[in-house]
A and B are shown apart, each in its own frame.
Chain A
Amino acid sequence: MSSDTITEPAPRLVEDPAELKVVPTRHYARWAAGAAVIVLIAQFVHGLATNPVWEWNVFRDYVLSETIVQAVWVTLQLTAYATVLGFLLGTVIAFMRLSRSPLLSTVAWAYIWIFRSIPMIVQLVFWFNLSALYKELGLGIPFGPVFFSVDSNTLIGTIGAAVIGLTLHQAAYAAEIVRGGVLAVDDGQLEAAAALGIPRLRQIRRIVLPQAMRAILPTAGNEIIGLLKGTSVVYVMSIGELFYQVQVIYGRNGRVIPLLLVATAWYVVLTSLLSVAQYYVERRYARGADRTPPPTPFQRARRFVTKESS
């Protein structure tokens, strides 16, 4: 091309558009915000490490001590019992509420109404004082003769009272969660099951509940994690669960902050474990919902690594 023509375009254009270079936008504000956040986090971590108030040596001494580990075990037991019993009872109440019998459905509604209305801590204290209400519990014909009876404090110890309180409270919430899940299942599913002559209980267990689980699990996960932390209110009944023990210890030695950290650490660990479990349970009940099931985090990590190396 001749260089002396005056019509020559000022910048030289590349012939092939595919060779054009893309210049990404510069996000200056985003970078500045990022830097500010990093500084804040660094300050916080520095404070955690250097501020003597945290007393990490005390934390280290107690976090795996026998008393605390035992207290964690009590917390886990309370959570497990209340979860299993609460959801069992809740499922029964949910189906009562969905029942065509107006009596059953009203009773279920009333149960949910009452137990959602009473603060858990109030209810727990009620159960703690059960023997004041009913001195003896007996088995017999309603309004008729009693075959045998026992002292209510012997039958229901403190732990028993806590489990009953947590369960009854949990069941009211679980009932609504299960009912929501059941309502989310397409009517056509029950119709198809009925048209095939599948027995009624089997329809619920095999067709409805597994599909309802998809809607139940995220909320149920919330509830169980809430319950795990909620068990800390049973300290009012002097049960040796995590929060109660921590209070007992710092009441004795005055190291409030590090011992609260001990409790925090354990609650975080337990909640994380529950979250992981929830992920895998949800994944299992998602079978058939997607054309290609999503990979597990491990599969995703492996794929990422192999893709990087190739």
Chain B
Amino acid sequence: MSAVMVDVHGVHKSFGPQEVLRGVDLEVSAGEVTVILGPSGSGKSTLLRTINHLEKVNRGWISIDGELIGYRRSGNKLHELKEKDVLKQRTNIGFVFQNFNLFPHLTVLENLVEAPVSALGRPRKEAEDTARRLLERVGLADKTGAYPRQLSGGQQQRVAIARALALEPKVLLFDEPTSALDPELVGEVLDVIKDLARTGTTMIVVTHEIGFAREAADTVVFMDAGVVVEQGPPSAVLDAPQHERTRAFLSKVL
């Protein structure tokens, strides 16, 4: 087994009185693809958002490549990091949103160049070269000068993936990357993600695409009501689930 890249430890998260995560533990090894499945409201997206500190946790901690996210430990205390330092940490964590969230007033190329230049201080020329290479990789080399709204949903999501890759993150998080797409556009986005999986990028993917989980996942995690119910290789979780809740969920979506 390779080293642990993402370590989620006893994470609790509440929104007001509602407890969304009730003690989640999860380990993701470097180079592995983890797919998180579960019914709506099970806390999958919230978990993903705690990993890059878009949501603060109420209890527990998360580390990436051995580094605590959002906190600095001294003795028995966790000190909240300054926003500046959290932003720095996030450059190690690529995040792909359900609604793409491309910057509509910037061209495709500018979308990809912005963070490497302003967050990592890369020279613009170098960032543009990287951006062009990444756009070629997601099959959009001819769209550098286009504005996001001139692209289809599938193309926008591929740009968003390229934008996340531009920071050369240690781990990529996908929050339901195909849920906002028309059915015929889902395939092109999943193909890009599968291609990344083959090149050994560490990824956590929240999705409803069972077929994708079966094909691309090293580990499938099933969540319900804010806890991890079951996890294991796709063959185990998808074909021979141990828990009643997993079976009930799969019978509805398959």
A: which residues have CB within 8 A of B? 186, 188-189, 191-200, 202, 206-207, 210-211, 285, 287-291
Known contacts A191-B54, A191-B97, A191-B101, A199 near B106 by CB under 8 Å:
no
Question: CB of B149 within 8 A of chain A?
Answer: yes
Of A206, A210, A288, most buried by chain B (CB within 10 Å of CB) is: A288
What is the minimal beta-carbon distance from A204 to any residue of chain B, in angstroms?
12
Judge whether A198 and B119 touch: CB under 8 Å. Answer: yes
Which residue of the partner chain B has the closest CB to A187? B101
Which A-chain residue is minimally distant from B175 (CB atoms)?
Answer: A195
Question: Is A199 a contact partner of B97 (Cβ separation < 8 A)?
Answer: no
Question: Number of residues in B with C-beta < 8 Å to the partner?
Answer: 32
Would A289 and B105 count as touching, CB distance under 8 A?
yes
Residue pairs across A and B with Cβ atoms less than 8 A apart, 5 shown, are A195-B97, A196-B95, A197-B119, A199-B87, A199-B119
Could you say which residues of chain B place their CB within 8 Å of the CB of A189? 101, 103
Which residue of chain A has its CB nearest to the CB of B107?
Answer: A288
Q: Please state if B115 and A188 are interface contacts (CB–CB under 8 Å).
A: no
Q: Which residues of B contact A285 (CB under 8 A)?
A: 105
How many angstroms between the C-alpha atoms of A61 and B108 in the bound complex?
57
Smallest distance from the beta carbon of B112 to chain A beta carbons, Å? 10
Contact code string B209-220 (vs A, CB < 8 Å = 1, else 0): 000000000000
Q: Which residues of A contact B167 (CB under 8 A)?
A: 196-197
In angstroms, Cα B119 to Cα A192, docked, is 13
Partner of A194, one of B54, B106, B118, B149: B54
Contact between B54 and A287, CB atoms less than 8 A apart: no
B13 within 8 A of A: no
Bound-complex Cα distance A207 to B148 (A): 14
Residue of A nearest to B150 (CB): A291
Say yes or no for B99: interface residue by CB 8 A criterion. yes
Nearest-CB distance from A135 to chain B (Å)? 44
CB distance from B84 to the nearest CB of A (A): 7
Chain B neighbourhood of A210, CB < 8 A: 105
Kindly list chain A residues whose C-beta atoms are within 8 Å of the C-beta of B106: 288
Cβ-defined contact, B105 with A287, below 8 A: yes
Q: What is the minimal beta-carbon distance from A208 to any residue of chain B, in angstroms?
A: 10
Does B130 belong to the interface (CB within 8 Å)?
no
Are B90 and A197 touching (Cβ within 8 A)?
A: yes
User: B170 on the interface (CB 8 Å rule)?
Assistant: no
